Amino acid sequence: MTASRVWRRPPVLAALALFGLLPVLPGEDGHWRWFSRFALAAPLPVIFHCLSRSPARRPGAR
Amino acid sequence: MVATEYDPADRTTARGAVTCRLVHKWTSLVCTAFLLLICVTGLPLLFAEEIDGWLSPGPPYPTLPAGTPNASLDRLTGLARELYPGEIITSMFLDDDEPRVVVSVAPSWRESVETRSSNHFVEFDARTAQVRDKSQAGEQRMDLLTVLFRLHIDLFADLPGNLLMAAMGVLLVVAIISGLVLYGRSMRKLPFGTIRHRRVARIRWLDLHNLLGVVTLAWVLVVGATGVMNELSRPLFALWQATDVEERLAPRRNQSPPGQGELASLQGAYDTARQAAPGMTITSVVFPGSDVGSPHDYLFWAKGATPLTGRLFSPVLVDARSGALTTILAMPWYLRVLELSRPLHFGDYGGLPLRLLWALLDIVTIVVLISGLVLWIRPRASSAAPALAEDRPDDG
């Protein structure tokens, strides 16, 4: 499995989301806190990718 | 709502899948309308501060020299009593973002509890003690954000509404877990994130529901679970008061509580509380006699200065007759969990970018809910074959 597919798997996305929620717990602000906050955004490019890669609907197809 | 495959060789697994599908279907259906309401009202509430600033900006603050001290709290309480003679002060909010103090007033403690509209307020500039805004008893200020907030948390039904919404949150968690089990079965023969555009509309809705549901699963689970915690905040605080607080107040049970005319200096009590909680910021004080305080003490709520301790509040009790420190109460674990669950629910721990992200994920959740409804409304073509057909990859 390629790296680009790994991060599209549900457990990886869930782990990223949980990582993004962690900064509510520890102390001071820092770069890693900003980085982890944006881990929460991982679902958005995945949704965009999956919706855009699917072939267009063929007219009259079931 | 998610397709499963019937395998005669494994009846137990098939029966489990049918049960899981039933659980997912009915837990989802029962809570979907409530969740749609919660998601739709929660969206603008993410930006409540900005919207409030636009809708009711309030009078501007006068420019004063840096370091101008705040007015004495005793002066503010005196002004509030002059404005509303014969009424009682129930609490005071000391804003740590803006130089303002909001004093809450009611005709009596009894009316304060029994008639919500009898509670009103006067807002002062914390430095000049000028009145910035005020309301009268019985005056209903039902602005847009208040309506959205009440719909979001309790449907205007107070505690029963809180409990109903908490129950809907629990159903959501059950629906997510059962949905995840079904997702694993239905996606065995499909690559992740497949949208079978060439199949019938119901299959496309199913794929969309599965994709959006699974990628936002962790976020929805956390926001849903922390929402349940928030809905239970009133019973949890009541439990704390009936146990820990009651135990600390037991020695003074036979003493008569002080009337508002017998209260010690509020400014003095505030200074005492600040000394007792160094490095903390006091954000509010509840006057003695309140259901959510002590009959004999001022109850000051103090919070820390770091990102973490700024979420954790400590209650400081100061004797309302003598002005002496009574105690700093320890918060039980369940209220600490509640406090930590709030930023996870509100998404307010990372500035505007994080709130925008919360909004986008909220919109995705609305699509998941609507697609789930579509799947329920659009019945499958027949009862037996489609379960197999729904597992079939796009063959176009």
Q: What is the DSSP string of B161-223?
A: HHHHHHHHHHHHHHHHHHHHHHHHHHTTTS-TT---TTS-HHHHHHHHHHHHHHHTHHHHHHH
Band the pLDDT of B292: cuts 50, 70, 90: confident
Q: Left (φ > 0), alpha (ψ -120 to 50) or beta: where does B40 sit?
A: alpha
Band the pLDDT of B384: cuts 50, 70, 90: very low
Q: Is the pLDDT of residue B386 over 90?
A: no
Write out chain A residues lying below 8 Å of B343, CB-based.
24
**Structure token pair of residue B272:** 């005492």
d(C-alpha B134, C-alpha B122), whole Å: 4
Query: Given this model, what pLDDT does residue B10 score?
Result: 62
Mean pLDDT of all residues in B128-150: 87
Query: Given this model, what pLDDT does residue B172 score?
Result: 97
| Residues B26-54: b if buried by 16+ CB within 10 A, e if exposed | ebbebbbebbebbbbbbbbbbbbeebeee
Query: Given this model, what pLDDT does residue B139 score?
Result: 74
Q: Is the pLDDT of residue B303 over 90?
A: yes
Query: Given this model, what pLDDT does residue B201 score?
Result: 87
Band the pLDDT of B115: cuts 50, 70, 90: confident
Q: Left (φ > 0), alpha (ψ -120 to 50) or beta: where does B315 sit?
A: beta
Query: Given this model, what pLDDT does residue B385 score?
Result: 44
Backbone CA torsion sign across B352, B353, B357, B360: positive
Q: Is the pLDDT of residue B141 over 60?
A: yes
Q: Is the pLDDT of residue B238 over 60?
A: yes
C-alpha count within 13 angstroms, C-beta hemisphere, residue B215 = 29
Q: What value does the CA radius of gyration of chain A take, rounded to a whole number of Å?
A: 16
Q: What is the pLDDT of residues B68-110, one digit of tens each?
A: 899 999 999 999 999 999 999 999 999 998 899 999 999 999 8
Closest CA to B299 of B289, B309, B308: B289
Write out chain B residues lying below 8 Å of A17, CB-based.
217-219, 222
Q: Is the pLDDT of residue A61 over 70?
A: no
Q: Is the pLDDT of residue B383 over 70?
A: no
Q: What value does the CA radius of gyration of chain B take, rounded to a whole number of Å?
A: 26
d(C-alpha B202, C-alpha B364), whole Å: 19
Write out chain A residues lying below 8 Å of B218, CB-based.
13-15, 17-18, 21
More confident residue, B271 or B139: B271
Question: Which residue does chain B place closest to A34, by CA atoms?
Answer: B350
Do residues B267 and B325 lie in contact, with contact meaning Cβ atoms separated by under 8 Å? Answer: no
User: CA B70, B270, B253: angle at the middle one, nearest 5?
Assistant: 155
Mean pLDDT of all residues in B211-223: 94
Q: Is B308–A27 a contact, with Cβ atoms under 8 angstroms apart?
A: yes
Q: Is the pLDDT of residue B180 over 70?
A: yes
Query: Given this model, what pLDDT does residue A58 score?
Result: 47
**Structure token pair of residue B137:** 């008893």
Band the pLDDT of B389: cuts 50, 70, 90: very low
Q: Is the pLDDT of residue A36 over 90?
A: no
Write out chain B residues lying below 8 Å of A37, CB-based.
349-350, 353-354
Q: Is the pLDDT of residue B135 over 70?
A: yes
Mean pLDDT of chain B: 88
More confident residue, B185 or B5: B185
Closest CA to B21 of B377, B376, B382: B376
Query: Given this model, what pLDDT does residue B142 score?
Result: 74
Do residues B325 and B316 lie in contact, with contact meaning Cβ atoms separated by under 8 Å? Answer: yes
Give burial (CB, 10 Å; 0-12/13-18/19+) of B271: middle
Q: How far is B286 from chain A (nearest CA, A)?
A: 28
d(C-alpha A28, C-alpha A25), whole Å: 10
Band the pLDDT of B240: cuts 50, 70, 90: very high
**What does DSSP assign to residue B242?**
I
Mean pLDDT of all residues in B181-191: 87
More confident residue, B193 or B176: B176
**Structure token pair of residue A48:** 């965009």
Question: Which residue does chain B place closest to A28, by CA atoms?
Answer: B307
Q: How far is A37 from chain B (nearest CA, A)?
A: 7
**What does DSSP assign to residue B85?**
T
- Number of cross-chain residue pairs from A and B with Cβ atoms under 8 Å apart: 97
Task: Report chain A residues touching chain B, CB-CB < 8 A.
Answer: 5, 8-10, 13-15, 17-18, 21, 23-29, 33-34, 37-38, 40-44, 46-47, 49-51, 53-58, 61-62
Query: Given this model, what pLDDT does residue B3 score?
Result: 44
SS3 of residue B160 by DSSP: helix
Mean pLDDT of chain A: 75
d(C-alpha B271, C-alpha B276), whole Å: 9
Among the ranges given (B170-179, B194-203, B353-362), the one the predictor scored with the smallest mean pLDDT: B194-203
Residue type, B210: N
More confident residue, A1 or B125: B125
Q: Is the pLDDT of residue A25 over 80?
A: no
Q: What is the pLDDT of residues B254-271, one digit of tens each?
A: 888 898 889 999 999 999
More confident residue, B149 or B382: B149
Nearest to B360 among A18, A37, A44 (CB): A44
Q: What is the DSSP string of A6-53?
A: HTTSHHHHHHHHHHHHGGGSSSS--HHHHHHHHHTTTHHHHHHHHHHH
